[in-house]
Amino acid sequence: MCRDCSCGQPAPEPLPEPTRQLPLHTALLQRNDAQAAGLRQRFEAAGVTVVNLLSSPGSGKTALLEALAQRLDPTVLAVIVGDLATDNDARRLQAAGLAAVQITTGQACHLEAPMVAEGLHRLHHQGISLEQLELLVIENVGNLVCPGAYDLGESLRVVLLSTTEGEDKPLKYAPIFHGADLVLITKLDLAEAVGFDRAAAHAAIARVAPHARVLETSARSGAGLDALINALVR
């Protein structure tokens, strides 16, 4: 019977207790970190700098890599691209002369260490070895939340902030910016048109990532790209 009245209706079923997801998530991260440690050893042994490139969708990751392809020897740079679907970005980079492979994640909003290992396997089948590279870029899935939690064995974590996104983006997504070694302000050529407040952007980055280096870049005009190459290629 209903506890609160004598209506004659059966008492409602008790609500199920919330599923405990934390232990499973912790186990997954631990397994990922162990695999990332193995990748890091491989990268260090090969002497290659590995960049985990992170941003929200449309911040200019692929355009930036296309611009770098014009300034670097394409034989020393390779890219592993992560997207939920399509191989559009990998095709763009291949057209720019780069060795690039696509990892499609389906519904996963981030890349994980085993996916990077799969990307290395695909590069190997293209005849690309780690030992011949100076720079391997992992273009992560466009997302400023989940990818920050997954170590991919990278040497550098680089986060993009487009001038078209607003100066307060680092404050809204503080954890991923806090983990950055380098923050790139991209699409500098659009800054004036969109009323981008550079001082406010730099202040926001300094607040959440005081340790990170900041560079302003434009794939279209080439501004800041030489400084970026110097920061990436050791």
In a domain, 148, yes or no: yes
Rounded distance, CA 5 to CA 181, Å?
62
Our CA dihedral for 63, 69, 75, 81, rounded to 10 degrees, sits at -10
* CATH classification of the domain holding 108: 3.40.50.300
What is the spatial distance between Cα 48 and Cα 76, in angstroms, rounded to a whole number? Answer: 9
* pLDDT tens by residue, 169-185: 999 999 999 999 999 99
Q: How many domains does the chain have?
A: 1
pLDDT tens per residue, range 84-139: 999 999 999 999 999 999 999 998 999 999 999 999 999 999 999 999 999 999 99
Reported as a single tens digit per residue, the pLDDT across 142-166 is 999 999 999 999 999 999 999 999 9
Q: Please state the pTM of the whole predicted model.
A: 0.88
Phi, psi of 43 (to 5 degrees): -65, -45
Which whole number is the average pLDDT over 11-23?
59
pLDDT, residue 18, reads 56
Q: Which domain holds residue 171?
A: 47-232
Q: Considering only CA atoms, which of 229, 230, 170, 161 is closest in space to residue 191?
A: 161
Would you state the pLDDT for residue 53? 98
Task: Classify residue 145: in a domain, yes or no.
Answer: yes
Report if residue 5 sits inside a domain: no
Residue 153 lies in a domain: yes
Is residue 30 in a domain?
no
The structure tokens 């290992």 sit at 117
Asked if pLDDT for residue 5 goes beyond 70, the answer is: no
pLDDT tens per residue, range 50-78: 999 999 999 999 999 999 999 999 999 99
Q: Which residue has the tokens 């307060």?
A: 168
Sorting pLDDT into bands at 50, 70 and 90, what band is 25? low
pLDDT of residue 105: 96
Instruction: Supply the angle between the helices 88-95 and 61-69 in degrees, to the nearest 10.
Output: 20
For residue 195 the two structure tokens come to 């009323």
